[in-house]
Amino acid sequence: MNKLIFPKDFIWGSATASYQVEGAFDEDAKGESIWDRFSHTPGKVENGDTGDVACDHYHRYKEDIALMKEIGIDSYRLSISWSRILPEGKGEINQQGLDFYRNLIDELLKAGIKPAITIYHWDLPQALQDEGGWANRQTVKYFVDYAEILFNEFGDVVSQWITHNEPYVVAVHGHLTGSHAPGIKDPKVAMQVAHNILLSHGLTVKKYRELELDGEIGITLNLTSSYPNSNSQEDNEAAKRMEACINGWFLEPLFKGKYPEKLIELYGAKFNQLDIRAGDMDIIKEEIDFLGINYYSRSLVRHNEDSDFFKIEGVKPEDSKYTAMDWEIYPDGLYDLLIKVNREYTQKPLYITENGAAFDDEISEDGRVHDQERINYLKSHFQRAYKTIKEGVPLKGYYVWSLMDNFEWAYGYDKRFGIIYIDYNKDRKRILKDSAYWYQNVIANNTLDI
Ligand code: BGC
């Protein structure tokens, strides 16, 4: 057996997001969010599932933190629900919302677990959506105001901040395909939303610097590695287009202060109609302390003249293994991605802020959940992460998605990503899966046995 020993100060973590786990959707003066509205609209989420109760983490956070402690995680990545803090998205602050997060943070600190806070993980207050949501430039200002409240309130004890989670998904799923809240289907709106989110990110980083707090701030992107399905020139070009449409769209503005040429070319006239003002790109490029990367799978593509997605067609090799999301398991993609980001975009510290897999877990007769496939998935990805560290990539931590099974957006509760099983039929009982015990062992020894 080989033992891969991670750096001494490597952060082992796990992540969730407010709407996916909290529940208590209308308690303690919380306002309505776009995900409340979306999930309450028939036909939007599988099985009509909603986040009304979710994992009931809002009431059971102490029990959940005790489980985190048992597993041994160093850091918990959570997100804050904007509409708990500001029920209307702006204006009056809801003290009960602040109290909830204050208690949760205190409990984490007592357990010796470092909170890493995502300021926005997709649950915009509905009142702001009613004014145009992220497509309205005014939302940028409201976001910075909201972030400032969090910095003032928690900046003394929270030292790791993530402005946004996956702006790509907000733009594309929320405003192009419409499969996520707010369910808009308009390419131009999607591009504008991406720009406004990036702008709100830059201004928030500036605000954080102004406050001179003792901590780090960054952003989390969902990134992939794109590969051509053959050596043909056409497939190679398709892979480059894919790269520009997913990674480049965000990496280039953040680190180079411009949108990728290829993207501008692909979007054509629509791009020129966007509201991008003088100075915006400089703001977006504001220096961050780290980059958070969410990696799940690669993109293997070929050129297809008939595809209306920029003539790109996804390919799914038959001999590959897939998760319950039907995502190809491809750990080398993580290795290639980290190397590329470090080489071409930033030498700043990197964190894997999400990586994990959904499988059809079941409670077996012995009362345990034997999720060997998840262990294999995590093991192979940890191994690639380790390899990049050895090659000099400043990878500082790894957050497994997710701490527990939860509301998987448009898929509802069907897809289980947790290392803790939630028995939705039995009072949401928590059961540590085999992967949680396996992870406990990795963390305790700071070592991966392969
Ligand atoms: C999101 C999570 C989500 C996970 C699995 C990421 O896109 O940040 O909220 O549950 O992927 O789909």
Residue 294 CB–ligand 1 contact under 6 Å: yes
pLDDT at residue 325, as a whole number: 98
Residue 408 CB–ligand 1 contact under 6 Å: yes
Residue 354 CB–ligand 1 contact under 6 Å: yes
Residue 367 lies in domain? 3-449
In contact, 301 and 239? CB cutoff 8 Å: yes
Between the CA of 296 and the centroid of ligand 1 the distance, in Å, is 9
In contact, 450 and 383? CB cutoff 8 Å: yes
Q: 3 by DSSP, 3-state: which?
A: strand
Q: What is the pLDDT of residues 318-346, one digit of tens each?
A: 999 999 999 999 999 999 999 999 999 99
Q: pLDDT truncated to tens, each residue of the chain (450 aa)? A: 899 999 999 999 999 999 999 999 999 999 999 999 999 999 999 999 999 999 999 999 999 999 999 999 999 999 999 999 999 999 999 999 999 999 999 999 999 999 999 999 999 999 999 999 999 999 999 999 999 999 999 999 999 999 999 999 999 999 999 999 999 999 999 999 999 999 999 999 999 999 999 999 999 999 999 999 999 999 999 999 999 999 999 999 999 999 999 999 999 999 999 999 999 999 999 999 999 999 999 999 999 999 999 999 999 999 999 999 999 999 999 999 999 999 999 999 999 999 999 999 999 999 999 999 999 999 999 999 999 999 999 999 999 999 999 999 999 999 999 999 999 999 999 999 999 999 999 999 999 999
Residue 401 CB–ligand 1 contact under 6 Å: yes
Report which secondary-structure segment, H or E, holds 228: strand 226-228
Rounded distance between C-alpha atoms, residue 97 and residue 18, angstroms: 12
- Taking the CA of residue 165 as reference, the ligand 1 atom at the shortest distance is 8
Q: Could you identify the residue written with the tokens 């901590």?
A: 215
Residue 46 among the catalytic residues: no
pLDDT at residue 247, as a whole number: 98
Between the CA of 20 and the centroid of ligand 1 the distance, in Å, is 9
DSSP string computed for 377-414: HHHHHHHHHHHHHHTT--EEEEEEE-SB----GGGGGG
| Cα 429 to Cα 317, 400, 420, distances in angstroms | 38, 21, 10
Residue 361 CB–ligand 1 contact under 6 Å: no
Is cis: bond before 182, omega within 30 of 0?
yes
Q: 115 by DSSP, 3-state: which?
A: strand
Between the CA of 409 and the centroid of ligand 1 the distance, in Å, is 8
Look at residues 224, 223, 247, 242 and name the one whose alpha carbon lies nearest to residue 304: 242
- Taking the CA of residue 409 as reference, the ligand 1 atom at the shortest distance is 10
Q: What is the pLDDT of residues 6-15, one digit of tens each?
A: 999 999 999 9
**216-222 and 350-355 strand pairing:** unpaired
Residue 166 among the catalytic residues: yes
- Atom 12 of ligand 1: nearest residue by CA position: 408
* DSSP β-bridge partners for residue 429: 423
- Phi, psi for residue 45 in degrees, rounded to 5: -120, 140
Choose one of 197, 417, 422 to mutate for the ligand 1 pocket test, by most ligand atoms within 8 angstroms of C-beta.
417
pLDDT at residue 1, as a whole number: 87
**Largest Cα–Cα distance of the chain, in whole Å?**
63
Residue 315 CB–ligand 1 contact under 6 Å: no
Number of domains comprising the chain? 1
| Cα 220 to Cα 137, 211, 217, 257, 421, distances in angstroms | 21, 22, 10, 17, 26
In contact, 258 and 252? CB cutoff 8 Å: yes
Q: Could you identify the residue written with the tokens 């208590």?
A: 24
Residue 286 CB–ligand 1 contact under 6 Å: no
Between the CA of 25 and the centroid of ligand 1 the distance, in Å, is 20
341: Cα separation from own chain's centroid: 17
**Catalytic-labelled residue, pool 107, 166, 286, 408:** 166
Which tokens go with 204?
Answer: 């928030």
Residue 166 CB–ligand 1 contact under 6 Å: yes
Task: Report the CATH number that the domain containing residue 161 is assigned in CATH.
Answer: 3.20.20.80
